[in-house]
Structure 1
Amino acid sequence: MRSPSPPRPLAFPTLDSLAAFLGARLPASALASWGTAPGTKTLLNLFLELSQGECVLLPAAADAQQQEEHPVVRAVHVATVRIRNRRGGLLMETGQLLSDGTLRSRGGPRPLSEKMRPGETSEAAAARAVREELGERVRVQILGAEEPRVEERESASYPGLQARYVLHAVDAEVVEGVPEDGEFDTEEGGEHEDEVVVEGAAPAITVKRHYWRWMHDGAAATAEEVEEERQSANQ
């Protein structure tokens, strides 16, 4: 007997088609919170992610109970970059300043992370994440990547929408371009969704600044445990 084919990603040519699809499947209260509850994103954000290939929406599993609980799943591949300095400290993101003025906590410090694009390797996504979130002048040495692991939970950015995260951990070392101790912040250089305007739709919410802290010894070990539990909660 043939094994069942994996579900095909759903396609949405317009923002209205995406809104109609989700409106028939997710609670109205959850959809109403998108872009209004602190730390969440808007429907336009999701539409742009889909258009750019940063995520896909998959139909429900064949199981009837799962269909009722999670009629649609947002699947995302994420590169997480564990950057260490010469003293072994681990670089962790502690927060983000969003375009709506909200300061979003990361649910505990976590390594730099980035949604992967179609056909992009985890190492290439890691290098792009460094350029966009830490700056063009920053140089790191990519050391290698681990086998990906999969986690599922409700999306923090899109409440009510189940998310499947395929996590690709990449190790790296600082070469030059960033302070190697204490706390600092950087300007986001890769998000331009706020330039996209759709009449009648809430604007996309983007990251404007990133806040970082070097963690050492026992603190770094604890931070890695936090990352294992909470990685991608806000992707």
Structure 2
Amino acid sequence: MSLTKDNNHNFAATPQSLSDWLRPRLPSDSFASWGVKPGTKNIHNLWLELSEGETSLADSTPPVRSVNVVTVRIFRNDKILIESLQELSDGNVRDRCRPLSEKMKPDETPEEAVFRAVKEELGSIVSGDVVRIVPGSYLKKVEERDSKSYPGLPARYVLHSVDALVDGLPEEEFCTEEAEEYLDSKVEVDKAVCVRKHHWKWVSPDSIKS
């Protein structure tokens, strides 16, 4: 059984109840590092993901976090745009070294997620209808690995990847500011670890790990 926003009322009605549910199901040292170890997120982040339907948790020990993610491989000439690092609200910096990626919303198509992801993460530097998805570039694969954001919590990522062209981006390295998310849960957002700035650069596609 997967626990989502529609059936999580008992175990995740609040961040505290979610924490109480997770604690006996995860290694204690790993769970204690959430939001403390640099680059990790905290229980408020996971609660927000669940409340927005971006994440589901399998009712198992340990639980498995399932997420649909869209990856946008933005090309210019012979280079691809990667997010080199993120500046977080807790003052830490997280290395990324990957193309633009964003968790998908419930019932969102990959194409819809692409346009939203570009708007949210690059919107402070580009505007208007500037995204062109390369026809036939869509790929889907599943990866299972431990979550770097939530140590000790196994994750199953359904990755939806497309190639795209985005007009108006700088030719050199640049940074963008993150658009606000979860506007209906402002109190919990203030307690979560959020991305303040994204740093981007153009690299050779051969340097990207598959």
The alignment's C-alpha RMSD in Å is 2.0
TM-score normalized with structure 2 length = 0.88
CA-CA distance at 1:182 after TM superposition: 2.2
For residue 197 of structure 1, what is the amino acid of its counterpart?
Answer: V
For residue 124 of structure 1, what is the amino acid of its counterpart?
Answer: E
For residue 127 of structure 1, what is the amino acid of its counterpart?
Answer: F
Does the 8 Å contact 1:96/1:208 carry over to 2? yes
1:131 corresponds to? 119
From 3, 9, 25, give the equivalent of 2:3: 9
Does the 8 Å contact 1:192/1:206 carry over to 2? no
1:74 maps onto 2:59 in alignment: no
Q: Deviations over 1:157-192 (max 9, x none)?
A: 000100000000011112x2211x221111111435
Does the 8 Å contact 1:191/1:206 carry over to 2? no
1:104 corresponds to? 94
1:168 maps onto 2:160 in alignment: yes
For residue 8 of structure 1, what is the amino acid of its counterpart?
Answer: S
The DSSP-based 3-state class of the residue aligned with 2:25 is coil
CA-CA distance at 1:9 after TM superposition: 2.4
For 2:56 and 2:15, locate their aligned partners in 1 and report how far apart those are by CA, in whole Å.
15
TM-score normalized with structure 1 length = 0.79
Q: What aligned pairs does 1:47-62 form with structure 2 within 5 A after superposition? A: 47-60=47-60
1:117 maps onto 2:105 in alignment: yes
For 2:59 and 2:72, locate their aligned partners in 1 and report how far apart those are by CA, in whole Å.
30
For 1:157 and 1:212, locate their aligned partners in 2 and report how far apart those are by CA, in whole Å.
20
| CA distance 1:8–1:36, change in 2 (3 Å) | closer
For 2:205 and 2:59, locate their aligned partners in 1 and report how far apart those are by CA, in whole Å.
39
The DSSP-based 3-state class of the residue aligned with 2:164 is strand
Q: Deviations over 1:183-222 (max 9, x none)?
A: 11111114357x7335xxx92000010000011xxx3222
2:205 corresponds to? 220
Does the 8 Å contact 2:48/2:182 carry over to 1? no
CA-CA distance at 1:74 after TM superposition: 0.3
For residue 59 of structure 2, what is the amino acid of its counterpart?
Answer: P
Identical counterparts, % of pairs: 49
For 1:56 and 1:102, locate their aligned partners in 2 and report how far apart those are by CA, in whole Å.
27
Does the 8 Å contact 1:183/1:211 carry over to 2? yes
Does the 8 Å contact 1:133/1:190 carry over to 2? no
The DSSP-based 3-state class of the residue aligned with 2:94 is strand
Q: For structure 2, list consecutive stretches of 5 or more residues without a partner in the other structure.
A: none
Q: Deviations over 1:41-89 (max 9, x none)?
A: 01010000000011100123xxxxxx5xxx210000000000112x232
The DSSP-based 3-state class of the residue aligned with 1:129 is helix
CA-CA distance at 1:125 after TM superposition: 0.6
Q: What aligned pairs does 1:40-51 form with structure 2 within 5 A after superposition? A: 40-51=40-51
Structure with the greater alpha carbon radius of gyration? 1
Q: What aligned pairs does 1:147-158 form with structure 2 within 5 A after superposition? A: 147-158=139-150
The DSSP-based 3-state class of the residue aligned with 2:31 is helix
For residue 3 of structure 2, what is the amino acid of its counterpart?
Answer: P
Q: Deviations over 1:117-168 (max 9, x none)?
A: 0000111111101000001516221224524211111110000100000000
Q: For structure 1, list consecutive stretches of 5 or more residues without a partner in the other structure.
A: 1-6, 61-66, 229-235
